[in-house]
Every structure is written in C-alpha cells, then in structure tokens.
A and B are shown apart, each in its own frame.
Chain A
Amino acid sequence: MKFVPTPLSPAELELQRDVRRFIAEELPADHQPGLGMGSGFDPAFSKKLAARGWVGMAVPKEFGGHARTAVDRFIVTEELLAVGAPLGAHFVADRQTAPAIVKFGSDWQREFFIPKIVAGECWFSLGMSEPDSGSDLSSVRSAARQVEGGWLLNGTKIWTSGAHRTHYFAVLCRTSPAEDKHQGLSQLIVDLRSDGVEIRPIPFLNGAHGFNEVHMSDVFVPDEMMLGEEGSGWRQVTSELAYERSGPDRFLSTFGLVKYLIAERAADGLTVEQQRAVGQLAARYWTIRQMSLSIARAIDDGGAPAVEASLVKDIGTRFEQRVIDVVRDVVEVQLRADSSSTFERLLAEAVLTGPSFTLRGGTTEVLRSIVAKGLRNV
C-alpha cells in the first residue's frame, strides 16, 4: 500500500482558480448549500458546468470528452462539493458511467451516450443493489433472457438514487446460470422510461425523495445496450467501484458544518472547545484530501490503487460522520427540521443522513476486509 504526496502543478492551480471564479459567478444567488452528493439536482447548473468542459472531463477526446486527467476532475469536484453546489443531476454519469462506457462500451454506445453525458444532458443512476443483495452483490437475482434483437429483463433494484429524475441506469443482472456466481453476470443499460419499468419512491429517513425501488417486468433491452461483454459484468462492476470509492465526495459531505460554524459563530468569538474542534477537523481535512488526491494521481500514472481507494473511503466516510459528532459536541443547540441558520439546517440534515455515509458505495465492513486482505498480501 502506498500513498505518494502530490503537489498541484501550475496548470492545475489555474484550473482551481477558474472553478472558484465560476462558482462565484454562476452559483445561483439563492443557493442553499447542501451535503456533498446530496446537495441538490439542478439541470441548469449541470449544463453550465458542462459548457465549461467540466462534465465528463476525463473522457478521451476521440469519444467526445475533454481528455483531462483524474486530478483535474478531482479539482473541479472538490471545489464544487466544498460549497455544497448542486451536482445531483450529472454526478453518477460523470463519476462512474462515463468511464465505464469508455472502458467497456461499444463504439455505438460511446457515440450515443458520451456526447450527451459530456453536455450534462444525460443522467444515470446505479443499478446494483437489490432487496436481497447488498454487500454480496454477486447474488443479484435480476435476470435477462435473450430474445429476438435483445434481452427481456426481470427483477427489482433498490436504493436507486435519483431514478425518478435520471434517464438511464446500468443494471447488473444474470444473463446465464453459472457454478461460480461471479460468472454469468452482465450489465444492461436500461432506459428508465421503458415499458415495464416501474419506479416507486422510498422516502429517505428525513422524508426526502432520493431513493427508489425500480421494478422491471419483461423490459425489452435492445442488444446494443449490453455494456461490455456478456458475462463480464462482475469484473466491470468491481472496476467501477474503484472510481466510486476514493474521490472528494467521500470526505467532504459535512464540510459545510465546519464552514458555517465559523461563519455564524466566529464573530462572537469561538469558545476554546469550538476552536479545538475547528483545528482538529481542519488538520484532518488537509490530510485526508492529500490521500484522496494521491489516488487520483496514481490513476493518472496508470496505477490501479483499489486497496488504497478502499482505505481512503473508510477513513473519509468515517471522518464525515465524526465531523457531525465533534461539531455537535461544541454547540448547544436543539435541532429542528427547519431553521433559518444555515449551520443548524446542515447539522440537522447531517444527523439525519450521516449513517448513510459509511453504507453507500461499500460498507465500512466490506472495505475493511478488502484492506485487510491487501495488508496480508504485502
């Protein structure tokens, strides 16, 4: 396991300045900062970002992308997350689906999807978890059988964030029976408006509509929507998870708590306990960001830091939760569902949604077993 500290180059620092300028000019005036990935769904904002070339950044030029690096994408993403900008519409397509299509997709899929994703106009959800398959993903029961010109897909996906608003999701499903359950799985790209797709909301703990249950009964999926080789779904999904795991979205979700604690309380002077909390958390943000950044750099250098990514996700997501406890410990406030204080609103939202940080994208326990295996194999 290795993390190499990596300073930003002058060009990367210029990009950082550009993003800050963009945020100052383009973030809607009435913007209410949110918590990381859950910070809002704003198609207009996604399109503005895309117009600057900041969606699908790392996609090669030949496929309609901007051929920027993973570090460049990291820089744009962290700046946006730090201000709680609304990234919800394009986030999954940008982080995960576009790289998967570039890597595994057909020429037709690249031509069809990538330009739309890069324009910020084509949004994806994830199609992995099922009612009976969460951490043990290879046990999915959704299955597709071959028919004339395509596949007939049946099954149920759950915890499908944003499916009521996005256009597609890539469904992990069984396309052939196999002794080894990691074999015979494939990924089908499914249009969420297809006949036979039914999307039912699952209200989140705080009442918000983010989650869905997606039922698929005899959904026809044309052949050209098979992502990658038939039967190689497991390999594709696990490689996708590496992209999903280590980015700034895994440590910045609750950054607003610290920022607005200072913004709203520092004028009266922070207490010693509050100062200590701010110092402790600032130091940890600085360190974890460097670890996360070093993974983006390693990916650009051709590495496949899967174990490192799992380690950083475990550190980062547990830290996001610790921020809530540390901050709550130094303010005496009775939380309400609505508050005119941005700090109190974000703290309430963090308390309600915080437990999900160490669940989404691989639970703490799954990550630790990946890291432990990596440590043993040194």
Chain B
Amino acid sequence: MSENVQEIRSALRPILADHSSPDEVVAAESAGWNSTLWSVLCEGGFATISVPEQYDGSGGSIADACAVLHELGRSASSVPFAEHALLAGWLLAIGKRSLPDGVLTVIDDPTELQVARTGDAFTVTGTARHVPWASVSAAILAILDIDDQSTAVLLPTEELQLDEQVNLAQEQRRTVVLHNVVVPAKNTWPVPADTAEQLRLRGALSRAALMAGALERATELTVRYTAEREQFGRPIGRFQAVERHVVRLAEAAQQAVMAVAVAGINAHEEIDFFDAASAKIVVGECASTGTAAAHQAHGAIGMTKEYELGQLSRRLWSWRDEYGDEREWARKLGARVSDAGAEALWPRIATG
C-alpha cells in the first residue's frame, strides 16, 4: 500500500466516524444521501481526489480514489464521490474542462437516449435509469454517439424530469426523463472510442472498492459480536459452527480487499478490462458469501435497521448490482478470455 493510500485512509477515518455514524446513516436515508458529510469532504479536498489539479481537482491516482471509496464503504456513507470525481471529473478532464460548481453524476446506460443535431446545438431525448444522486446533482454527464463520434455531453439538471427511485440502501438512483433537452455545442466534446467502456470499468471498480470497505467493516463487527455475545455459557464465537461463518466472512473480505488493491495499483491512465472485471466479479461474489455469513453469525440483531451490519449489507446488495453485476462481468470476461485462447489464460492471470 502506498503512503498516499495510508494517509488518505487515516485522515478520513475520524471524519467518517463523526459524520457517518450508524445514526447519521439512518438519518441520511430519508434524503437519499448524506449532504453534511459531502460538504465536509468537499471542504477537506477529498471530494475531488483523482481529478487532476489543473482542472480544479485535488489530484491523485485511481488507487487513491479507491482508498477514499474503501473508507466510504466501511462507514456505509451515501455520498456521490465515485460519480463526481472518478467518473464525471475524469470525463471533464478528457475534454480539458475544469470542474463546475455543484455535484456531478453520470449516466451508466445511455442506450435509451436519442440525440439529434439542431443547428449548433444538440437535442437529447429519452430515459436513463438508476442515475445515482440525480436529485442533488447540478449536471449529469453521458457518453453518446453523435455522427459516429463518441461524445461526452454535459446535461443541465434543471430541465430533466426525475422520479424518487432509490436502491436497496435508500440511496438516490433516479429514473431521468429528457424531453428535447437542448445542449449547446460548448457542452459537448469528443472522447476516444473506448471511453464508454472505460467509464463502465471505472464505475465497476468504484463499487468493488466500496464493497471491499464494507466487507472489511462487517468482518470487524462480526468478530467483535461473536466474542461478546454469550450463549450456553460461552461466547458464541467459540462454537466451531459459528467460527466457520466468521472465517468465511474474513476470507471474503480479504479477497475483496486484495482484488481492489491490485486493480487499483495496476490502473494508470487506463483501467485494464481484466483487472476491473475480475475485481467486480470477485468482490460481488464475496459480497454474497460475506453477507450471508455475517448475518448467520449475528442472528436477529443483524436484521434491524439501526444496527450497523444491516446498513452495510443493504449497500453490499445494491453495489454488487451497480455498473454490471458479477454474472454480467463474468460472461464478458469469459468471452474475452476464451477468444484469447487457452495458452493466454495463465500468462494473464500471472501478470498480476
């Protein structure tokens, strides 16, 4: 782990303890996000980590952004860091544009959007689903094909119709409807052809990093709970049957943390398909086995809204689906791996 990553983690830990405690997580859920925490993260410069300094970001690598996400995941924080910095900030930087004021988000799936040219401007119509934090964003970015050119489009939010959709953890995931929304040419810029895929890989890695943090925290809670809770005259963690759940959870968390760490270290300008897909697959699977084990070890207490475990597991169950679930990524990775041929498989695995 680089020194930066360590520093980011230790700087964020107390901030999140203050502003994303289990009570505050519950409080934030009615609004669909934690606005107080977001302000604190903005003031501290954390909100734009990985966005280059020349475009008004705080600078830093993808691995640094993953460190932020790890801590946010640990504390079940509902804030738009991934979309704002790692996705929108990056798209803006490709177009040599600075961060505008306000929260930014992105559209993961633009397939239901149509774009037409009207003079110097463009008109966008259609629907985008599961758009994170749309109700608190100042602008939404999407990648659309315009005349066969991959193009980033900055959509102002005031002209959009939003619903009240949330994910399983009550985080805003709005359906966004656009009726002939006019985008001036200055708010569009061409991007390389693989940008849409890179956006998805970044999105997938962001969710993997959040999940790794949440699994790490779920492990700590479960180790502590099973050491304190006594039944039949001894801590339940001393029963081999319960021990098994704790160990399986720890194994899930350690694999998740490793997968994200390696994908983050390897990512420089570009994120490698194999790395990000693998991280999302492994962490998604670990979210399933990990939450099952954590809840079984906790018993009924884990099923309450106030208790921290449930806050983490509802996010794990949401995040594992976002930016492609583990089955979708496994299918795509498997297709690429088999196209590359049997002899290429081991060298790729051993590339690190």
Q: Which residues of A contact B (CB under 8 A)?
A: 1, 3-5, 7-8, 16, 20, 78-79, 82-83, 255, 258-260, 262-263, 266, 270, 272, 274-280, 282-291, 293-294, 311, 314-315, 365, 368-369, 371-372, 375-376, 378
Question: A375–B196 Cα gap in the complex (Å)?
Answer: 42
Contact A372 B237 (CB under 8 A): yes
Question: A266–B341 Cα gap in the complex (Å)?
Answer: 8
Query: Chain B residues with Cβ under 8 A from A278's Cβ?
Result: 333-334, 337-338
Which A-chain residue is minimally distant from B235 (CB atoms)?
A: A376
Q: Which of chain B's residues 259-314 have a Cβ closer than 8 Å to chain A? A: 259, 261-262, 265, 274, 277-279, 281-282, 285
Query: Chain B residues with Cβ under 8 A from A279's Cβ?
Result: 277, 281, 329-335, 337
Which of B257, B265, B331, B343 is most buried by chain A, counting CB atoms within 10 A of its CB?
B331
- Interface on chain B toward A: helix, strand, loop, or mixed SS? helix
Contact A291 B326 (CB under 8 A): no
B258's partner among A7, A266, A275, A294 (CB-CB below 8 A) is A294
> Which of B53-61, B134-142, B170-178, B241-249 has 4 or more CB atoms under 8 Å from chain A?
B241-249
Task: Check A259/B342 contact, CB under 8 A, given A3-B258, A311-B250.
Answer: yes
- Count, chain B residues at interface, CB 8 A: 49
CB distance from B218 to the nearest CB of A (A): 13
Contact A290 B278 (CB under 8 A): no
Q: Which residues of B contact A (CB under 8 A)?
A: 1, 219, 223, 227, 237, 240, 243-244, 246-247, 250-251, 254-255, 257-259, 261-262, 265, 274, 277-279, 281-282, 285, 326-327, 329-335, 337-339, 341-343, 345-350, 352
The 8 closest A-B pairs by CB, nearest first: A279-B334, A275-B334, A279-B333, A279-B330, A283-B278, A263-B342, A278-B334, A283-B281
Contact B349 A285 (CB under 8 A): yes
CB distance from A139 to the nearest CB of B (A): 19
CB distance from B158 to the nearest CB of A (A): 41
Task: Identify 26 residue pairs between A and B in the complex whose beta-carbon atoms are under 8 Å apart, listed by A's number.
Answer: A260-B342, A263-B341, A266-B342, A275-B330, A276-B327, A279-B330, A279-B332, A285-B349, A286-B278, A286-B348, A286-B349, A287-B255, A287-B278, A287-B282, A290-B258, A290-B259, A293-B352, A311-B247, A311-B254, A314-B251, A365-B240, A368-B243, A368-B247, A372-B246, A375-B223, A378-B223
Which A-chain residue is minimally distant from B259 (CB atoms)?
A: A287
Question: A255–B257 Cα gap in the complex (Å)?
Answer: 23
Contact B274 A270 (CB under 8 A): no
Question: A20–B343 Cα gap in the complex (Å)?
Answer: 11
Contact B335 A270 (CB under 8 A): yes
Contact A369 B333 (CB under 8 A): no
Question: A293–B262 Cα gap in the complex (Å)?
Answer: 12
Query: Chain B residues with Cβ under 8 A from A263's Cβ?
Result: 341-343
Query: Chain B residues with Cβ under 8 A from A1's Cβ?
Result: 250, 254
CB distance from B209 to the nearest CB of A (A): 14
Query: Chain A residues with Cβ under 8 A from B257's Cβ?
Result: 3
Query: Chain B residues with Cβ under 8 A from A82's Cβ?
Result: 346, 350
Question: A290–B263 Cα gap in the complex (Å)?
Answer: 11
CB distance from A200 to the nearest CB of B (A): 35
Question: A8–B349 Cα gap in the complex (Å)?
Answer: 13
Contact B281 A372 (CB under 8 A): no
CB distance from A72 to the nearest CB of B (A): 14
Which B-chain residue is minimally distant from A82 (CB atoms)?
A: B346
Query: Chain A residues with Cβ under 8 A from B259's Cβ?
Result: 283, 286-287, 290
A276's partner among B265, B282, B330, B342 (CB-CB below 8 A) is B330
Contact B346 A255 (CB under 8 A): yes
Known pairs A4-B1, A287-B262, A290-B258; list 14 more (Cβ under 8 Å): A1-B250, A16-B350, A266-B339, A277-B334, A279-B335, A280-B326, A282-B278, A284-B282, A286-B278, A286-B349, A287-B255, A287-B259, A291-B254, A311-B254
Question: A29–B78 Cα gap in the complex (Å)?
Answer: 58
Question: A365–B219 Cα gap in the complex (Å)?
Answer: 19
Query: Chain A residues with Cβ under 8 A from B343's Cβ?
Result: 263
A280's partner among B330, B339, B342, B349 (CB-CB below 8 A) is B330
Task: Check A282/B345 contact, CB under 8 A, given A82-B350, A276-B327, A378-B223.
Answer: yes
Question: A278–B335 Cα gap in the complex (Å)?
Answer: 8
Contact A372 B350 (CB under 8 A): no
Query: Chain A residues with Cβ under 8 A from B262's Cβ?
Result: 5, 286-287, 290
Question: A288–B262 Cα gap in the complex (Å)?
Answer: 11
CB distance from A164 to the nearest CB of B (A): 32
Which of A20, A83, A288, A290 is most buried by chain B, counting CB atoms within 10 A of its CB?
A290
Task: Check A262/B350 contact, CB under 8 A, given A1-B254, A3-B258, A369-B240.
Answer: no
Query: Chain B residues with Cβ under 8 A from A275's Cβ?
Result: 330-332, 334-335, 338
Question: A276–B337 Cα gap in the complex (Å)?
Answer: 11
Task: Check A286/B274 contact, CB under 8 A, given A7-B352, A279-B281, A372-B237.
Answer: yes
Query: Chain B residues with Cβ under 8 A from A314's Cβ?
Result: 247, 251
A288's partner among B240, B255, B274, B335 (CB-CB below 8 A) is B255
CB distance from A140 to the nearest CB of B (A): 24
Query: Chain B residues with Cβ under 8 A from A378's Cβ?
Result: 223
Which B-chain residue is minimally distant from A288 (CB atoms)?
A: B255
Which A-chain residue is minimally distant from B286 (CB atoms)?
A: A287
Contact A262 B345 (CB under 8 A): yes
CB distance from B212 to the nearest CB of A (A): 11
Question: A82–B344 Cα gap in the complex (Å)?
Answer: 12
Query: Chain A residues with Cβ under 8 A from B338's Cβ?
Result: 262, 266, 270, 274-275, 278
Query: Chain B residues with Cβ under 8 A from A369's Cβ?
Result: 240, 243
Contact B237 A376 (CB under 8 A): yes
Contact A282 B350 (CB under 8 A): no
Question: A378–B246 Cα gap in the complex (Å)?
Answer: 14
Question: A3–B262 Cα gap in the complex (Å)?
Answer: 11
